[in-house]
Amino acid sequence: MARVIRQRPMNWVERLYIFEAIRGLWTTLKHAARGLFRYEELPTISYPEGQPEVRRTYRAKHRLMLRADGTPRCVACGMCAAACPAHCIYIEATASDDPRIEKKVKRFDIDHLTCVFCGLCVEACPVDALRMDTKEIIFEHRTRDEFVANLQTLTSWNPKDYPDDAQSQVAPGGTKNAEARKVWGMEVKN
């Protein structure tokens, strides 16, 4: 059943519209005067000196998670590339040396010029190898080729930037790396 909302009829002053236009102009003048005389109170950020606060849940630049030995967690299944609506992910697989892992990634490229940052690739990853939690939202490069993030740039992140994430601390340089290497049966170098 449709819900009917009854509006009260306009009186003759409102039908002239001139008074409503003057009210709108008065509001605009108040905001303009606030910007001229009380600039400090405006809710703006002086960019680039001040950077906006970016939450960890914001879909920013991608990163590939690392195992305890420093290799990417990606098993080259191709589900992220299949889920991507922009078709900006390119993956090549190769056989893994570790008998516990069938395949490993040989080439992993993400073209950030065509990426729509929807996060479907992150949701599709079955081993949680791909994340978009870097808080890096500024893309500035001189050539189009530099917008393509390859395997090296996707894995060059520091575990100290993610202190609350337990999986990031397993990577080399993290606080839980020595424990993870013992679990995986790797020698621990001090």
Architecture per CATH, domain 63-183, reads as 2-Layer Sandwich (3.30)
What's the confidence (pLDDT) of residue 34?
Answer: 84
What share of the chain has pLDDT > 70, as a percent?
97
Q: What is the pLDDT of residues 134-155, one digit of tens each?
A: 988 888 899 999 999 999 999 9
Q: Is 48 exposed, middle or buried (0-12, 13-18, 19+ CB in 10 A)?
A: exposed
Residue 113 confidence (pLDDT): 94
Q: The pTM is what?
A: 0.73
- pLDDT tens digits for 53-72? 888 889 999 999 999 989 99
First to last CA, the chain: 73
Complete edge-to-edge strand list for the sheet that includes strand 103-111:
89-95, 103-111, 148-149
> What's the token pair of residue 176?
């839980």
Domain ranges of the chain: 13-44, 63-183
